[in-house]
Amino acid sequence: MERKQPRWQRWSLIATLALLLWLTAGPIAQASVYVYRERPGQVTVRSRLSLRDLSDRAWQAIAFKRTEGDVLQGYYLRLVGFPEAVQVDRQQPLSLRSFTGQHWQLPWAIDPQAKTVPPNVGQFDLAPLLNEIDRSLPLKIQLPLVNSTAAELAIAPFIVEEWLEVKRRQALPAPIGAALGE
What mean pLDDT, rounded, does the chain reach?
84
Q: Where is 127: in which H helix or E strand?
A: helix 127-130
Closest CA to 34 of 159, 164, 166: 166
Cα distance between residue 35 and residue 165, in whole Å:
11
pLDDT value of residue 133: 95
pLDDT value of residue 10: 63
Domain positions in the chain are: 33-168
Q: Which residues pair with 78 in a beta bridge?
A: 62, 123
pLDDT value of residue 112: 85
Cα distance between residue 46 and residue 44, in whole Å:
6
Residue 24 in this model has a pLDDT that exceeds 50: no
pLDDT value of residue 16: 55
pLDDT tens, position by position, 95-104: 999 988 999 9
Length of the chain: 182
pLDDT value of residue 172: 58
Q: Choose between 123 and 38: higher pLDDT.
A: 123
Say if CB 143 and CB 150 are below 8 A apart: yes
CB atoms within 10 A of CB 53: 20
Cα distance between residue 15 and residue 12, in whole Å:
5
pLDDT tens, position by position, 123-168: 999 999 999 999 999 999 999 999 889 999 999 999 999 999 999 9
